[in-house]
Structure 1
Amino acid sequence: HQLIPKQLKLLNRGPTYVPPCQLSISSLNQSIDDIIKKQYASLKHQLNAIFSKYHINIALSMEIQQKINSQFTNLFSTPIP
């Protein structure tokens, strides 16, 4: 199968990294907060499974989740230059 010149040019550029959150923003008409909440939901589910498996105190697990959520939000809210 022959590639057209435009396809060859694209392949010659090499791989390009697009951060997951940036990809979501460009493809959806949602606010950044909505996207962050959606991205965090999977992590929150995993955290709850770990807290349950290791019988972590509810107060401690809530504190950990709040700190992780805050850090997650800060990291994903930082604009990409």
Structure 2
Amino acid sequence: MKLLRELPLGTRVVVRYRIEGGFTDALGDLVARDDVSCTVETRRGPVVVEFSSVALAKPVPPPPVRKSAGGPPAAL
């Protein structure tokens, strides 16, 4: 996949790739690549994806900022 070979490392990406029985996605930062694969650092850890199994890939914006579960901070 040409795009994954050209994007700067550190770019947030989503990669759809073939697995036995279908497809799955890796969403995270592109952290490494070599001649045959790339590594995406996901929330669950690094995922190594061979370029030959990639169906689709694209850069995506940063994740939304999470709002805190509580109300405003307590006054001191």
TM range (shorter): under 0.3
Give the TM-score normalised by the residue count of structure 1. Answer: 0.19
Structure holding more helix per residue: 1
Please report the TM-score for the alignment, with normalisation by the length of structure 2: 0.20
Quick check: which has more Rg, 1 or 2? 1
